[in-house]
A and B are shown apart, each in its own frame.
Chain A
């Protein structure tokens, strides 16, 4: 027993770990071995110390994980305090990872939490290799894609230790989901990209010429007026003065066009793309993630296969199902994605098409064939050199059934497409 443990500390949990249940894997070895693994050997990584992250850290610590690492690049904002319960007013402005780690270590003696205040992309494969499990509590699609792809790439068939289960949670208002990903074995984050709600994008011509909604006026202030008036000065959506400026400009435009409904809260919501968030939904989803982590780490019960979706707006509705792996998943499928396009399509139009695709979701893609560069977004010299290709037809550069490799700084992998023409 570790020094900080006291008699009966894990009384409730040990009831589970000392006896198999009716649905427990026969391989489960009840007793001291599993407790020792959980409490003295398991090393777990938590991505995000926000709404889900705070809950995840507390649950993991109470269930007996004692070596927890946490990564978060954000600092604490006052709007976090309605749900991120490890933070107080005095902590506003401090790094989330550090404050959360200190709180857990103080509240749950003997639990070691190692914070990293920075980006997941700062860490290399060796870093991720040290963990038994990764739990993601993120609000960014891009970070999740990166993490999922990184763990898929980490898998070495010769080395079973290289397979790191990834548990991913997400919430929005009264809704949320939790899922278990066994990289290369079950459906990965990329496989399910088309399940995401399509983000509302307001066409520039509407914003510039025919605004109808308060959102159009806010986008005008943010996308067109800010750069026109402030030049290169970056817009900081966390700066109340900047929001105030956008609000005033948007409100003036709304007045000019007789549009009602521009408010401070709406302005902030649109420019920061705010997603409503409450403690209770985060608690449900984080508990679900940690429960899966506990079951996987201890084999004390079967784990989720593989997707749990919760809708709490009308009663409590949930749906548990197996999300299928996609054979043409660019991350874990190993096959090229077949794409049939018009023979008349130009490279420029092709790029727009890729950006539009819900199952690809790419920003600023660069394209090449196995033998030639088609178009590169950067560096500037290469962009300039390949720019003339934008006006060419894809067919002039890629043969029927030819392969196109798509890369982007927002993607931790390259996407292979097989092109056919209609």
Chain B
């Protein structure tokens, strides 16, 4: 819990307020900082399709700040049948945005919803500044030409909102997040930071050296934490081996036997734990390669006072790692281990004190003022930092070589991406399997074969296209692009996936997708292109 450290335990904490209680199950994932990012976000959703309202439902519930639905359409009988955020027949003929906003806003009083019945095309023509006030824009099954215009507009300036483009047809779907740069301090990495047993800091080394294992009270002996046992055993080993840790398999075995030989009773579990963790003595604590790679980031070579704080922190980290012991700053998080209260708390205190010292060193390397809470989070999560660089929507489809390599590395997923892309380029009256296949083929380098799975994927899309296009011609009020079946289950599935990624983008916690995420709900799998 992020709040735990700030909490003064002597003050009787009162029961949480109703907002904290309402959000309890999600605060356990993204804490108050993530929640506040959500509450400050403003989302624009283009069209109130079943998929769009499914996405929004999953964002209104956890409490985004504001959403606007942009949709000039009125509710058709078809909409009323497949969208949970329309009220059956009574919604037919009313504004689709208006009805959806009304029913979505009911889910959470803390969220502001707005319906805008303007046309996207007119906004793009006359009011391109419209988008600047939003954090993120989500577009579902948008007409390809408009999507291209929108993505180009939003890509032009990195202060403009992130674009999430979602396309679906029947059991198939895909989505892409367009962003320039996304930095993550708290990626909720599942790897634990190093305890630095191999590079024990002075207070830890001194404490381990000071213990008299041979004459220790037997109860205390059973409660020496494995960290201390290993630091001591390693120091003793190095003293006898020219300052080198165990290196060969035989030496490692000998070291482990030595650890077990320190037992005074057979059932001392702390020594068993030390033996099991002995590898930490010869696995050198270094700066993880993923983090070293970040030090090459162009933002660091061009660092200026106006650079984002993340890169100032990253630069301070780089400088920190140049100093001995060439590691990331120590974190005070200690895993549980066999020990009694006194010995564990003492060890914890050693780590805490050292972590504070290293944090002070880290702070002294910062060249701009950054608040303590951010510095704390950064240092604590330094082993899981991420910098993602996104691509413009559609850029993959203009790069035949990249598409060809995607076909080779993930044929199934790329087949779906190609089928959906082909569907966007072929206009309804000409939509045949041959036309779709030709359109997909045209995206690939000359002579490069479509993946075997393409015929399944295009067939899945095609059966819908044929039926839909026939009806489309009869109903001129429908948009020029052939609509595709928006199945309630596919809409709900995509709605969940997209909302999850949007939450990660807004909170800057956890790691969002990089590329296209494709979905096949016939065989039920997801993949990345």
> Could you list which residues of chain A lie within 8 angstroms of chain B, going by C-beta atoms?
6-13, 15-16, 18-23, 55, 58-59, 62-63, 78-79, 81-83, 85, 88-89, 107-109, 173-174, 178, 209-214, 240, 243-244, 247-248, 251, 254-255, 257-266, 268-269, 274-288, 290-292, 294-295, 301-302, 304, 308, 310, 312-316, 318, 320
What's the Cα separation between A315 and B27 when bound, in Å? 20
Known: A15-B464, A82-B23, A85-B57. A283 touches B523 (CB 8 A): no
What's the Cα separation between A178 and B3 when bound, in Å? 34
For the complex with contacts A6-B89, A255-B9, 11 further pairs of A-B residues with Cβ separation under 8 Å are A12-B487, A22-B455, A85-B61, A109-B89, A210-B339, A259-B341, A276-B25, A288-B489, A290-B492, A314-B187, A315-B513
Is residue B344 contacting chain A, with contact meaning CB distance below 8 A? yes
Is residue B272 contacting chain A, with contact meaning CB distance below 8 A? no
Q: Is the CB of B489 within 8 A of A59?
A: yes
Known: A274-B28, A315-B514. A258 touches B345 (CB 8 A): yes
CB interface residues, B 283-338, toward A, < 8 Å: 336-337
Q: Is the CB of B493 within 8 A of A23?
A: no
Residue in A211, A266, A313 whose CB lies within 8 Å of B4: A266
Q: Is the CB of B489 within 8 A of A294?
A: yes
Q: Is the CB of B524 within 8 A of A62?
A: no
Could you say which residues of chain A place their CB within 8 Å of the CB of B521? 288, 291
Could you say which residues of chain B place their CB within 8 Å of the CB of A254? 9
Q: Is the CB of A23 within 8 A of B456?
A: yes
Is residue B501 contacting chain A, with contact meaning CB distance below 8 A? yes
Q: Is the CB of A16 within 8 A of B496?
A: no
Could you say which residues of chain A place their CB within 8 Å of the CB of B499? 279-280, 283
Is residue B426 contacting chain A, with contact meaning CB distance below 8 A? no
Residue in B22, B24, B54 whose CB lies within 8 Å of A265: B24
Known: A281-B500, A283-B57, A320-B523. A315 touches B511 (CB 8 A): yes
Residue in A63, A258, A282 whose CB lies within 8 Å of B488: A63
Known: A7-B77, A79-B25. A212 touches B525 (CB 8 A): no
Q: Is the CB of B25 within 8 A of A278?
A: yes
Residue in A89, A108, A263, A274 whose CB lies within 8 Å of B24: A274
Is residue B277 contacting chain A, with contact meaning CB distance below 8 A? no
Q: Give the contact stretch, choosing among B79-87, B353-361, B367-375.
A: B79-87
8 A-B residue pairs with CB within 8 Å: A8-B81, A16-B170, A81-B61, A173-B29, A174-B500, A260-B5, A285-B496, A304-B523
CB interface residues, B 58-73, toward A, < 8 Å: 58, 61-63
Whole-angstrom distance between the Cβ of B499 and the nearest chain A Cβ: 4
Whole-angstrom distance between the Cβ of A251 and the nearest chain B Cβ: 5
Residue in A265, A287, A301, A316 whose CB lies within 8 Å of B27: A265
What's the Cα separation between A11 and B6 when bound, in Å? 55
Residue in A13, A247, A280 whose CB lies within 8 Å of B487: A13
Whole-angstrom distance between the Cβ of B349 and the nearest chain A Cβ: 8
Is residue B451 contacting chain A, with contact meaning CB distance below 8 A? no
Could you say which residues of chain A place their CB within 8 Å of the CB of B187? 314
Q: Is the CB of A263 within 8 A of B23?
A: no
Could you say which residues of chain B place their CB within 8 Å of the CB of A22? 455-456, 459-460
Q: Is the CB of A58 within 8 A of B84?
A: yes
Could you say which residues of chain A place their CB within 8 Å of the CB of B525? 308, 318, 320
Q: Mark B165-206, 1 if CB is under 8 A from A, else 0.
A: 000001100000000000000011010000000000000000
Could you say which residues of chain A place their CB within 8 Å of the CB of B514? 315
Residue in B82, B336, B344 whose CB lies within 8 Å of A13: B82
Q: Is the CB of B496 within 8 A of A280?
A: yes
Known: A16-B485, A82-B62, A244-B15. A6 touches B80 (CB 8 A): yes
Is residue B106 contacting chain A, with contact meaning CB distance below 8 A? yes
Could you say which residues of chain B place their CB within 8 Å of the CB of A278? 25-26, 29, 58, 62, 500, 503
Residue in B63, B339, B463 whose CB lies within 8 Å of A21: B463
Closest to B512 in A: A315
3 tightest A-B contacts by CB? A283-B496, A22-B459, A284-B496
What's the Cα separation between A224 and B71 when bound, in Å? 59
Closest to B89 in A: A6
Known: A15-B468, A313-B510. A21 touches B345 (CB 8 A): no
Could you say which residues of chain B place their CB within 8 Å of the CB of A81? 22, 61, 108
What's the Cα separation between A7 and B187 when bound, in Å? 49
Residue in A264, A292, A294, A312 whose CB lies within 8 Å of B16: A264
What's the Cα separation between A214 and B7 when bound, in Å? 13
Is residue B156 contacting chain A, with contact meaning CB distance below 8 A? no
Closest to A283 in B: B496
Whole-angstrom distance between the Cβ of A406 and the nearest chain B Cβ: 29
Could you say which residues of chain A place their CB within 8 Å of the CB of B364? none
What's the Cα separation between A59 and B521 when bound, in Å? 14
Q: Is the CB of A63 within 8 A of B501?
A: no
Closest to B61 in A: A279
Q: Is the CB of B485 within 8 A of A79?
A: no
Could you say which residues of chain B place their CB within 8 Å of the CB of A173? 28-29
Could you say which residues of chain B place their CB within 8 Å of the CB of A79? 21-22, 24-25
Could you say which residues of chain A place their CB within 8 Å of the CB of B146? none
Closest to A315 in B: B513
Could you say which residues of chain B place their CB within 8 Å of the CB of A63? 487-489
Known: A19-B467, A243-B15, A316-B501. A263 touches B493 (CB 8 A): no
Could you say which residues of chain B place their CB within 8 Å of the CB of A247? 13
What's the Cα separation between A265 and B28 when bound, in Å? 9
Q: Is the CB of B87 within 8 A of A107?
A: yes
Q: Is the CB of B78 within 8 A of A23?
A: no
Q: Is the CB of B80 within 8 A of A262?
A: no
Q: Is the CB of B15 within 8 A of A11?
A: no
What's the Cα separation between A23 and B345 when bound, in Å? 61
What's the Cα separation between A411 and B278 when bound, in Å? 41
Q: Mark B87-110, 1 if CB is under 8 A from A, else 0.
A: 111001000000000000011110
What's the Cα separation between A138 and B489 when bound, in Å? 19
Is residue B223 contacting chain A, with contact meaning CB distance below 8 A? yes
Q: Is the CB of A261 within 8 A of B54?
A: no
What's the Cα separation between A190 and B22 when bound, in Å? 34
Is residue B495 contacting chain A, with contact meaning CB distance below 8 A? yes
What's the Cα separation between A7 and B76 when bound, in Å? 10
What's the Cα separation between A15 and B463 when bound, in Å? 8
Whole-angstrom distance between the Cβ of B104 and the nearest chain A Cβ: 10
Q: Is the CB of A316 within 8 A of B106?
A: no
What's the Cα separation between A79 and B15 when bound, in Å? 14
